[in-house]
Structure 1
Amino acid sequence: MTKSVPYADVIIVGGGISGLYAARLLTDLGVDWRLLEGRNRMGGRILSVVPPRAVNPIHPTQAPGFDLGPSWFWPEYQGDLARLVEQLQLETFPEFETGEMVVERLATPAPYRVPGYSSAPQSWRLAGGMGALVTRLQDGLKGDRMHLGQVLHRLEICGEQIVLTTRNEKGETKQWQGGTILLALPPRLAAQTLDFQPALPQYLVEDWSAVPTWMAPHAKYVALYDKPFWREQGLSGEARSVLGPLQEIHDASAPDGPFGLFGFLGLPARDRRSLTEPLLLEACREQLGRLFGMAATGPVTEYYKDWAADPFTATAADTHIGDGHVPAPRAAPEEGPWAGRIYAIGSEWAREFPGYVAGALESATIGVNRICLNREDRNR
């Protein structure tokens, strides 16, 4: 080990929920770790935005956050996530689903109302958005062990250690050394963007490359308002449309405001790339006006995130909407020089909840347990 190169027993690559939760577990176990994140923020595909001057009159210290990534969780059957939310003392509230739903089809001259329905089990959200979970996890970790803006390019086995080479936004490279790697990245992104020396087994590269990245093909739009005017019309805020550009719409309101609607764009990523963001936002506002009335065309604030354009999320293969959740790939090499030295813990590697926030906790827990067992075996 070279003294000038930062070292940790375990290096976590990726600062999403799986990476942060792995760091929390390792901290509790007394294991030395470092975390490398390519973005200039933690959270990965969790991204919550706080409107300018937003104030919660009931809880002034808790600013409402609105999710451009995942929003919901289901405590009824995602017990580990529910327990973590309770341990971190995060406020929760149920998704608003009271009222009728609006449907827009090609064969009908105008949108029409149909009876609404409630999710079973109930969908829940976090006050402050899912970003509140990221913040609370991050607050419980040592800041000097987490490094932002470090884009990983190469991993090389050098004797008993693994040397990682990262590059920052200025193009400057930096090296890090570790005994074991926890790879908290989407499988396809890891397989197609990282240089492993020696190379990973071909079956593992093919395995990882075949797994669609959750959220990668999608784009999400959020519109915020002073009043939930759709509720006054007996509407839940839910809508389905084949005309678009929004395909699926839900109520995005914070419990005490601001109030809002959010939707997923049905346009494929390749079509979105041919349009400017102002044109897409204008089309979203116009559609909300068709569905919920003129008041919907004038949001106080609006946000848009195209995950297909995010290089830390999507690859060229992640452009098709509809792949959905698929079975988890193998998380580690079964033989060869990388066996026992690297374990993948992104949400897609979860067996029970692949692609969900709960899956990030699941895969992180399995990964940490696995490397701890490997460390015990080596020390015998």
Structure 2
Amino acid sequence: MMDKKIAIIGGGLSGLYAAYLLEQQGITDYLLLEARDNLGGRIQSFTPHNTEASFDLGPAWFWPDIQPEFAQLINDFQLDSFAQYDTGNMLIERSLSEAPNEISGFVTEPTSMRLTQGMSGLIKTISEKLTNTDIHCSKQVTKLERQENKVIIHYHDSQNNTQQMATSDHVLLALPPRLAIEIIEFTPSLPETLTQQWQQTATWMAPHAKYIAVYERPFWREQQLSGSVRSTVGPMVEIHDASLSTETKHAALFGFIGIPAQQRKDIGEEQIKAYCQQQLVRLFGEQAAQPIAHMIKDWAQDAFTATTLDSQALSHSLAPPRSPINSTWSQHLTGIGSEWATEFPGYLAGATEAAELGVERYMALYEK
């Protein structure tokens, strides 16, 4: 049975950044387990056939004016970024019986920035900086068990269902609090108050679905349109230009789907894609009818993001306690998923902030 100083559960941004921070402190004796088949967590991308373009299915924006630490990280990693395209007019769709209204666009403040490579470029960059080889995908943790001064981590390989175990002094939970309670058995149980607080913490992205349509060129710009839309008709209630630069190659539009999660499941993905396609034609004309590729990512159907409690719209709340107090778990468990951040819970900047706080706590406990 593998024995490590520290175990990181989850290979999204917070988990990978925690691993990076540990290695910066000279600590390589850690194990990272990710349940998905790839690293990145809620940072996932869509690469159409025969292209190298990477379109964000999860979070895509950051705001340097209000998130300077995250912006500095992007700068330190030498990742290219650009401002969200919003030049031109915006469309307002209020009814199927009348054409959408065109109104003057507005520059968003603070400026929304995106990465030229997509946010998956950040995951790739951090991953490539790590030297530890004990970073494993397709490993789902099912149970954490406190014994003496260790935590026994029970997990299985999703490829062949092999049951495996490892031990560590400390566990960093790099997944949403609600999901941790849902999929991991804690022995002994976590304090009931903490369990309730974690269950009541909404998971960012979990109720949402995004649709992306990729085109040969951004024809809406030729119509002096920004690509931004607000619609009370739907299925997409908010649409933006998702092109990968301010230039014309790798053109795309993306929208947030306003249909509730259960209804989306009942309607089915192919039908919703057809509805989205019809909406883009209504808004932008027949040129929108022939995308190179299009895709839906329904986060509510993602077992490693959403639980049954996440079917409702997000309600923002204060970050829950990241560790049990007055419990046998107190010295051995710390939550570092983005929802545990104090300043930007749920956001990309929250993921790196929570990772920093978690690693600081670990260092204070063990590396005196």
Decide: shared fold, TM above 0.5: yes
Provide the rounded CA distance (Å) in 1 between the counterparts of 2:277 and 2:338. 33
Runs (4+) of structure 1 moved beyond 3 Å? none
Partner of 1:358 in structure 2?
349
Partner of 2:24 in structure 1?
28
Deviations 1:303-350 (A, max 9, x none): 2100000000000010112x2432101100011100111000000010
Provide the rounded CA distance (Å) in 2 between the counterparts of 1:376 and 1:259. 49
| Unaligned runs of at least 5 residues, structure 2 | none
Partner of 2:109 in structure 1?
120
Residue 191 (structure 1) aligned with residue 191 (structure 2): no
Q: Give the TM-score of the pair, scaled to structure 2.
A: 0.97
Provide the rounded CA distance (Å) in 2 between the counterparts of 1:142 and 1:11. 16
Offset at residue 50 of structure 1 (A): 2.0
Partner of 1:178 in structure 2?
168
Q: Secondary structure at the match of 2:197?
A: helix
Residue 342 (structure 1) aligned with residue 333 (structure 2): yes
Partner of 1:201 in structure 2?
191
Partner of 2:9 in structure 1?
13
Alignment of 1:1-380 (within 5 A): 5-31=1-27, 32-54=29-51, 63-106=52-95, 109-142=98-131, 144-169=133-158, 170-255=160-245, 256=247, 257-321=249-313, 323-376=314-367
Residue correspondences, number: 364
C-alpha contact 1:80 1:361 (8 A) present in aligned 2? no
Offset at residue 143 of structure 1 (A): 5.3
Offset at residue 90 of structure 1 (A): 0.7
| Unaligned runs of at least 5 residues, structure 1 | 55-62
Q: Secondary structure at the match of 2:354?
A: helix
Provide the rounded CA distance (Å) in 2 between the counterparts of 1:252 and 1:349. 29
Alignment-mate amino acid for residue 288 of structure 1:
L
C-alpha contact 1:249 1:262 (8 A) present in aligned 2? yes
Identity of aligned residues (%): 43
C-alpha contact 1:214 1:324 (8 A) present in aligned 2? no
Q: Give the TM-score of the pair, scaled to structure 1.
A: 0.94
C-alpha contact 2:96 2:233 (8 A) present in aligned 1? no
Provide the rounded CA distance (Å) in 2 between the counterparts of 1:349 and 1:367. 9
Alignment CA distance shift 1:334-1:315 (3 Å): same
Deviations 1:217-276 (A, max 9, x none): 000010011111101111000001111111100000012421010001000000001112
C-alpha contact 1:216 1:318 (8 A) present in aligned 2? yes
Partner of 1:60 in structure 2?
none
Offset at residue 52 of structure 1 (A): 2.1
Alignment-mate amino acid for residue 130 of structure 1:
M
